[in-house]
Structure 1
């Protein structure tokens, strides 16, 4: 058995504080041809389980949450709990698929079993089918989630060894572990304190200081909407090369363009203090790629939705992201999470529950950029044509955006609250329009 890290267990605590949310994150593969038989597909998934022991493990909590929850082998594991088959109604097009994805984002995973599910969509227009892979955020972040997804696809010639629980021994559960943590905390805390405080002060201030009121932040219901925006990755890189920006800068500038357009349509002025966005930052080392857990920190920049010119808007995004990185905010949060591992779990759990009940008004959206598979993927010999990322909403964030690269495509998967984002298509359209404007500007000859 291994303990859940503080951030992993935090996602379970957060889900428990709000009956309207489900914290499953997913990837949807659009696959060419017809699906395999049910027997063939189950055999392929079973092979994937052999490479990742976490998929056979469930979460067990301690009485009164005195110690951290642990992953333990499910003694009654049954693969049938985790695979479901369905088909779309005619015309079985992308609109119908997006409705199904939205429904999947609403459903909570069963905590009596390992926290993942695979849904096979047997029929999709254009001689295609789909595979929806969903896992609880306590098990995976964006990068480990895509690694999990790849593990259920066909393997290349080279195979990785079985990837079970992480190598380090986190067996400090039980009363002895609790006592040991209490003894060691005064010894380890000082070495973190100075760097954490220096970097964390601006993050804490950003998280609690309310921004200008906006319809992007507020109570959410149980139903979801889901839409997709697509862009050419070579064209994104062309824009970045022209304006000395990263792929992430270009993506965030396009998102800023989209929210600017949405606010205008809603009759709201896109002022400089209206859209603070949560941008997760991976702190996962390369040797932990196959470990199923969360290794993320975050930044909280304002998006420059008040700037009308798309090139100036991109420059502002680049400068703001660079400034936040220079402040060391992501590293400070990483250090804070490391220090949390030395605290008694009950303290951490109650702190997260309290934060979950606190109605935050400072953050209006979330955008996470995950590098997708570099190699072409297949499922039972069928080509994976594209991958659509999908993530949940919570904490009064009425929309979230997952950005994923695969082949020469960058896909923006946009999740919204059903009741408060009936215009969610405007976000997808705004992203594509924002990229088109930047691409056109990048191809205009510039006088040196």
Structure 2
């Protein structure tokens, strides 16, 4: 058995606390040609799933939630629970695909089985087809989700259509029917390990507490303190979702960076700033300096943890300068704020807080998380996350993967979530919106590439 970490388990609590939330995270891949013979496709996919033990494991919760949930083998694993074939209505265009994606990703995964699903969309206009790979956020974050996608694609060394070789990893031993023995064993093990770890923890504590407190202060203030001027970006959400996409060439972003400096993420967040400003103006709202504070996950995954399916992120909460109209002013403000947040320890504080949570017994930690999730936060308006993807074209059973678009879930009164994923020379934006609270996410999708073009013009490129 393998325990879920505090952040992994937190996404389960998120769903349990808010019935309007589906914690599905995933990608939509568009491929050339057709998926071919259905039976052959399923055999090939089954072989690749076989090579990844975690994809054949389900979650088992401890009795009375005293201990953390654990991953256990699904002794009755059946690919039929995880694979769906679908067809779009005519004209089978991208608009129909995005609507289908929103409906698919808005549904919760079945916790009686491993928490992932693979949907094949057989026909898409232009001699294309698509797949929607979804996993529960307790299983993957953005970076490990990309690793999961790559593990299902063809490896460079194999012939097109050949199955990946098995990893040979053995399954964890099955536990007793009620899990009681294992629960008490984990409690006992934790109790025995704590005295051994205590001296080192106490030695590090003063310095760690100071660093964490410095970084946590702005984080807590951003979440807990109501903004001076709120916006309609923050508010209750329902169960239905909308989904839209945008594309920006990485060559355009590089041209901006060569003139103005900064990072790919700085350019992307500036485009997001322009898009959220456009939404507020279209809704008749005057954007203020704190109208669009966004939740920005930051990966803390080391090279050693590459490919491991779990969550390893911290977070920052920049306030995007939606009150500024000029693209250069927006870009300068975004760069300065991101540099300040990185140097000020906000990301590190979030990471240390998550690490410290691992030392707390699960039961009180779960209670604290549930209580915090019920608090109607008003300080954060949207989600913006950026994940590096494959730089070269991938292949699935010999078919070229033409484009990959990310999907991020929304929760905690965040009505818009914008995920960014680079793939083969393009930065693709996947925009998730609450069906009623964000009916205008198409405006976000249109504004993002236009904002990069304006930035290019203002930079004199």
TM-score, normalised via structure 1 length = 0.95
For 1:171 and 1:290, how far apart are their aligned partners in 2?
28
- The alignment covers a number of residue pairs equal to 442
**Which one of the candidate residues 215, 218, 221 is aligned to 1:202?**
218
Task: State the Cα distance separating 1:195 from its structure 2 match.
Answer: 2.2
Task: State the Cα distance separating 1:34 from its structure 2 match.
Answer: 1.1
Task: State the Cα distance separating 1:47 from its structure 2 match.
Answer: 2.3
- Equivalent residue number for residue 75 of structure 1: 75
Give SS of 1:284's match.
coil
For 2:269 and 2:184, how far apart are their aligned partners in 1?
41
- Equivalent residue number for residue 277 of structure 1: 294
- Compared CA separation, residues 440 and 358, structure 1 to 2 (3 A): same
Task: State the Cα distance separating 1:185 from its structure 2 match.
Answer: 7.3
Give SS of 2:265's match.
helix
- Equivalent residue number for residue 151 of structure 1: 151
For 2:251 and 2:350, how far apart are their aligned partners in 1?
33
Task: State the Cα distance separating 1:441 from its structure 2 match.
Answer: 2.2
Q: Does structure 1 retain, via aligned residues, the 8 Å contact 2:53–2:171?
A: no
- Equivalent residue number for residue 255 of structure 2: 238
Task: State the Cα distance separating 1:198 from its structure 2 match.
Answer: 2.3
Q: Does structure 2 retain, via aligned residues, the 8 Å contact 1:120–1:131?
A: yes
Task: State the Cα distance separating 1:166 from its structure 2 match.
Answer: 12
For 1:318 and 1:143, how far apart are their aligned partners in 2?
23
Q: Does structure 2 retain, via aligned residues, the 8 Å contact 1:31–1:385?
A: yes
For 1:30 and 1:414, how far apart are their aligned partners in 2?
17
Q: Which sections of structure 2, spanning at least 5 residues, go unmatched?
A: 159-163, 173-181
- Equivalent residue number for residue 448 of structure 2: 431
Q: Provide Cα deviations, 1:261-320, integer angstroms capped at 9, x if missing partner.
A: 111111111111211111100000012111000000000010011111101110110000
Root-mean-square deviation (CA, aligned residues, Å) is: 2.0
Q: Does structure 1 retain, via aligned residues, the 8 Å contact 2:117–2:133?
A: yes
For 2:187 and 2:194, how far apart are their aligned partners in 1?
11
Which aligned pairs between 1:330-345 and structure 2 lie closer than 5 A? 330-345=347-362
Task: State the Cα distance separating 1:442 from its structure 2 match.
Answer: 2.8
Are residue 122 (structure 1) and residue 138 (structure 2) matched?
no
Task: State the Cα distance separating 1:420 from its structure 2 match.
Answer: 1.4
Task: State the Cα distance separating 1:397 from its structure 2 match.
Answer: 0.2
Which aligned pairs between 1:160-199 and structure 2 lie closer than 5 A? 162=167, 174-180=186-192, 183=195, 187=199, 188=201, 191=205, 192-199=208-215
For 2:149 and 2:408, how far apart are their aligned partners in 1?
14
For 2:169 and 2:277, how far apart are their aligned partners in 1?
45
Which aligned pairs between 1:30-429 and structure 2 lie closer than 5 A? 30-157=30-157, 162=167, 174-180=186-192, 183=195, 187=199, 188=201, 191=205, 192-211=208-227, 212-429=229-446
- Compared CA separation, residues 327 and 52, structure 1 to 2 (3 A): same
Q: Which sections of structure 1, spanning at least 5 residues, go unmatched?
A: none
Task: State the Cα distance separating 1:48 from its structure 2 match.
Answer: 1.8
Task: State the Cα distance separating 1:29 from its structure 2 match.
Answer: 0.7
Task: State the Cα distance separating 1:163 from its structure 2 match.
Answer: 8.8
